[in-house]
Amino acid sequence: MKTGFIGLGRMGSGMAARLCHAGHEVTVFNRSAEKAVPLAAIGAKVAKRIAEVSDCEALFTMLADDAAAEQVVFGKGGVLESLPQGAIHVSCSTISVEFSARLSAAHREAGQGYVSLPVFGRPDAAASGRLYLVAGGKQDQVEKIRPLLEVLGQKTFHVADSPESANLVKLSGNFLIASVIESLGEAFALVEKGGVDRKMYLELLTSSLFDLPVYKNYGRMIAERQFDPAGFAARLGRKDIRLLLGAAEDLKVPLPFAGILRDRFLELAAQGGDDRDWSAIGGLAARDAALDS
Which amino acids are annotated catalytic?
170
Bridge partners of residue 46, in order along the sequence: 28
The three-point CA angle 32-133-65 to 5° equals: 35
Residue nearest to ligand NAP (CB): 9
Nearer to ligand NAP, 88 or 134 (CB): 134
Residues 6+ apart with CB under 8 A from 158: 135, 136, 137, 139, 142
Binding interface with ligand NAP (CB under 6 A): 7-12, 30-32, 35, 62-65, 67-68, 71-72, 93-94, 119, 122-123, 231-233, 236
- Minimum CB distance to ligand NAP, residue 10 (Å): 4
Nearer to ligand NAP, 42 or 289 (CB): 42
- Minimum CB distance to ligand NAP, residue 34 (Å): 8
Q: What is the DSSP letter of 24?
A: -
- Minimum CB distance to ligand NAP, residue 31 (Å): 3
Q: Cis peptide leading into 256, omega within 30 of 0?
A: no
Nearer to ligand NAP, 121 or 189 (CB): 121
**Phi-psi map region of 272: left, alpha, beta (phi>0 left; psi -120 to 50 alpha):** left
Report residue 61 CA to chain centroid gap.
Answer: 11
- Minimum CB distance to ligand NAP, residue 194 (Å): 33
Nearer to ligand NAP, 198 or 279 (CB): 279
CA distance 20 to 151: 10
